[in-house]
Amino acid sequence: MKNPQLVNKEGFSHPTLPYRHLSYKDFQVYFINLFSINKTLFKTIFTTFILLLLFNFSSYSQIECGVPTNTPNIDYGSIIETRGVFQPNSGPYCINLFFHIVRQNNGLGEFDPNEIDNLVVLLNDSFNPHNIFIAKAGVNFINNSNHFNTTVTYSTQNNSFNTPLFNNSVNNAVNFYLVNSVREIAYPSDIYYNGVAQKVESKNFIVKNEKVLTSTSPHELGHCLNLLHTHQGRGGSSGCEEDIDAENCEDCGDFVCDTPADPTLIPYPKNYFNVDSNCIYIGGGGFNPDVKNIMSYSGDCREHFKPGQGKRIRDALQESSLLQDIIGSDLLYGLATTVGDNIICADEGTIVEIINSEPPYNWSVTPNLTITENNGSSITVVANNYYASETGKIWVSHFGVGQNPIEINVWLGRPQSPESIYGPDIVNSGAIVSYQGGVAQGATSYVWWLPYAVDIVNPIDYFNDNWQMYPNNTRFNSQVFTGYGANNGYVQIMGGQ
Ligand SMILES: [Zn+2]
């Protein structure tokens, strides 16, 4: 071990943690030995090593979506029409969605629970234009390192993806599992997915944490609600190809006529992409696909469902026996969603509003809050104590439904200190190490400090003496380069708003 540095870590009001062995130990020793040869040789080998690393990563099978695609098409719209009902099934529908946040055995590494409400907003942005509303039915935590990096297996017997993780599912909701990674055990090699739906029409789906706040989440939920890929029938999936002129659109492809034929989209920067960085289709072949469709493979280009897809979901919600118990029992109540800041200060009023619901409303708050203005569907609240650093609650109910008010959790005033910092106390020079901060109640962001001299930079200069880290690090997995200056000091984290 060359040039060890002592690190004292502080969550601002906590003592230094005891010594622990370094993580990535082999990796670091490898670095140090190389460095002791000489700097130029090190640089050459280091660059080669990084290129090799990049190559290895890009050769992993990382696929957008796993869902069994060879289930028979169930056309609920035709079933409704066959009964002689020609009225448009326009909704509204409210769907219960239950969130399972999966963590390691030690309770670490999870998707930030404070972001669940943002996820609900993201999903509603996709589904609300089709008169479909998503309600948060609940949040569950699962501490299990096996499930944290989930494996799924495909069963030909029931034509679905199975995993013991689904044993945690609740009945009256679609179950959304948030994991670190999801891998299918497959031959000749395993396949890594951004997201997996159990099958088309099901009540379980999985998304890896990195992709949770992207279009992958409404995409997988779309599968659960009976939507197929817009490229169904092409790109190796089962079924028949939709003609470019859409003549067979009712019988082939995704069975939805306002989604044009799709050759299977691959967004830039993958090797053989046919959607460029401006989300323009450049694949030719006479296709004019909807590159912004959530049920396509166009990655970050995806924004919307088409009306025909909305109708297909609503028809499934009306007719499917499997999906009946995910529909909110009290539609009016279920549609109510609040918007507004969940951090409230004493010197500044915060507006809390209720949307997608019918008046009148009855508001109440905990004693540490005051309602300064009440406009029926929205209130302005302030914290009573200027020095507050605590939780508060707001309740809103309809006069007619009042026994079940919606509860809104808010934070008053400044965030508290993080409980702890996880990571090594003694590190090598020129090493890459990782620190993780505990939760600071009331914090919406986190700021790190490292031993001086420190650079917050991108990219990191791996030949510099200074401690370095990337800008905008979260409290999770904050990678740090320790530099060659052998500078001892403190690693600290503070919550911010
Ligand atoms: Zn998919």
CB 404 within 8 A of CB 330: yes
> Beta strands 350-355 and 337-340: pairing type?
antiparallel
273 and 388 together in one domain: no
Q: Give per-residue pLDDT as tens, 26-66.
A: 222 222 222 333 333 333 333 333 333 333 333 345 688 98
Residue 303: pLDDT above 90? yes
217 and 161 together in one domain: yes
Domain end marker among 360, 383, 413: 413
What is the pLDDT, as a whole number, of residue 93? 82
> Which pair of tokens denotes residue 281?
């289709």
CA of 463 to the centre of ligand 1 (A): 43
Contacts of 72 (CB under 8 A, 6+ apart): none
Residue 335: pLDDT above 70? no
Q: Kindly state whether residue 30 falls inside one of the protein's structural domains.
A: yes
Q: Kindly state whether residue 448 falls inside one of the protein's structural domains.
A: yes
CB 493 within 8 A of CB 447: yes
454 and 485 together in one domain: yes
Q: Kindly state whether residue 88 falls inside one of the protein's structural domains.
A: yes
Task: Look at residue 394 and give its three-state secondary structure.
Answer: strand
CA of 296 to the centre of ligand 1 (A): 7
Q: Nearest Cα to 94, choosing from 325, 349, 358, 262?
A: 325
CA of 171 to the centre of ligand 1 (A): 23
82 and 225 together in one domain: yes
CB atoms within 10 A of CB 119: 20
- How far, in Å, CA of 267 to CA of 282, rounded? 10
367 and 312 together in one domain: no
* CATH code of the domain covering residue 358: 2.60.40.10
CA of 294 to the centre of ligand 1 (A): 9
- How far, in Å, CA of 34 to CA of 347, rounded? 57
Q: Kindly state whether residue 85 falls inside one of the protein's structural domains.
A: yes
409 and 492 together in one domain: no
pTM above 0.85, yes or no: no
- How far, in Å, CA of 70 to CA of 160, rounded? 10
Average pLDDT, integer, range 259-281:
93
Phi, psi for residue 232 in degrees, rounded to 5: -50, 135
Domain end marker among 325, 346, 361: 325
Domain tally for the chain? 3
Task: Look at residue 127 and give its three-state secondary structure.
Answer: helix
CA of 305 to the centre of ligand 1 (A): 13
339 and 317 together in one domain: no
- How far, in Å, CA of 98 to CA of 80, rounded? 29
Q: Kindly state whether residue 50 falls inside one of the protein's structural domains.
A: no
Q: What is the sign of the dihedral through the CA atoms of 221, 227, 230 and 236?
A: positive
CA of 217 to the centre of ligand 1 (A): 10
CA of 88 to the centre of ligand 1 (A): 27
Query: Hey, which of 206-220, 329-343, 382-396, 476-490 has the most confident mean pLDDT?
Result: 206-220
361 and 456 together in one domain: no
> Which pair of tokens denotes residue 4?
């060890």
Q: Kindly state whether residue 52 falls inside one of the protein's structural domains.
A: no
* CATH code of the domain covering residue 303: 3.40.390
Q: Kindly state whether residue 377 falls inside one of the protein's structural domains.
A: yes
Tell me the residue type at 436: Q
CA of 229 to the centre of ligand 1 (A): 6
Residue 98 β-bridge partners? 138, 175
Average pLDDT, integer, range 277-302:
96
393 and 303 together in one domain: no
Q: Give per-residue pLDDT as tens, 438-472.
A: 778 778 778 888 888 899 899 999 999 999 998 87
Domain end marker among 413, 441, 460: 413
131 and 278 together in one domain: yes
Q: Kindly state whether residue 51 falls inside one of the protein's structural domains.
A: no
Please report where in the chains the tokens 């992993």 appear, as a residue: 60
Identify the domain containing residue 158 by its residue range.
62-325
340 and 378 together in one domain: yes
CA of 64 to the centre of ligand 1 (A): 7
114 and 153 together in one domain: yes
Task: Indicate left, alpha or beta for 84 from its phi (over 0: left) and psi (-120 to 50: alpha).
Answer: left
Residue 11: pLDDT above 60? no
- How far, in Å, CA of 384 to CA of 489, rounded? 39
CA of 303 to the centre of ligand 1 (A): 14
Who has greater pLDDT, 310 or 394? 310
CB atoms within 10 A of CB 281: 19
Q: pLDDT-derived band of residue 23, with 50, 70 and 90 as boundaries?
A: very low
